[in-house]
Structure 1
């Protein structure tokens, strides 16, 4: 069994409606942006003929499509994303990629500058 990952980044702005009464929450209520790094991991056996779990061109094409929907967009307005949390970004990316790449075993999204990371394993 193999796992193969492809990472990509996107830069986006969003807001978060939070009930928490702290200084950090005040900033997240305003429009602000992040550089996100996402990783899509596929799992499976290597094909006997090709030696690959998946052709990387297939994976990269699926990633390019979802990246186009997120990069330099206001996440609050991305159809199908709902509230732009790390958790929802993971699920959104998975749902966008899984039809073309059913071997997706994990999607993670992180903001390196703040040390936040979320991982979704369907």
Structure 2
């Protein structure tokens, strides 16, 4: 009988962004996004929580290969965004850099490449008060 479990790994990066929707006027953007619409942007110390689910391997006792997962997330997410401005990344040229959109982007980047197991959830901590979660149903 297969026994399933979940494992969550935590990753961190620092990045700047500006909340601004191209299709909205500058006035509306200021009203909708407030101080987060600052022309020069603002920064966050992001924490990304990557949850993988799967069968517990009877030999290793693990759900996934942690070393390979760490390499994947560090290469595709942390190195790409750390000490960068998210609005300057090609992925966000036509997408507002909200936490919701960033969490979905991270999901899309990782979902097909999880080394063992299946991606279950992405959690994104942006501030003490802002936590975003994405999972595909």
TM-score normalised by structure 1 residue count:
0.87
Q: Is the 8 A contact 2:123 2:132 kept in 1?
A: yes
1:74 aligned residue: 85
DSSP-derived class of the 1:80 partner: helix
Deviation at 1:20, TM superposition (A): 6.0
Counting only pairs closer than 5 Å after superposition, residues 1-122 of structure 1 correspond to structure 2 as 1-17=4-20, 19=28, 22=31, 25-30=33-38, 31-65=41-75, 66-81=77-92, 82-101=95-114, 103-113=118-128, 115-122=129-136
Shift in Å, 1:37: 0.9
Give the paired residue count: 120
- In the TM superposition, residue 21 of structure 1 has moved relative to its aligned partner by 5.6
Structure whose CA Rg is larger: 2
Following TM superposition, where does structure 1 have runs of at least 4 consecutive aligned residues deviating by more than 4 angstroms?
A: none
Deviation at 1:99, TM superposition (A): 2.4
CA RMSD of aligned residues (A): 1.8
Gaps of 5+ in 1: none
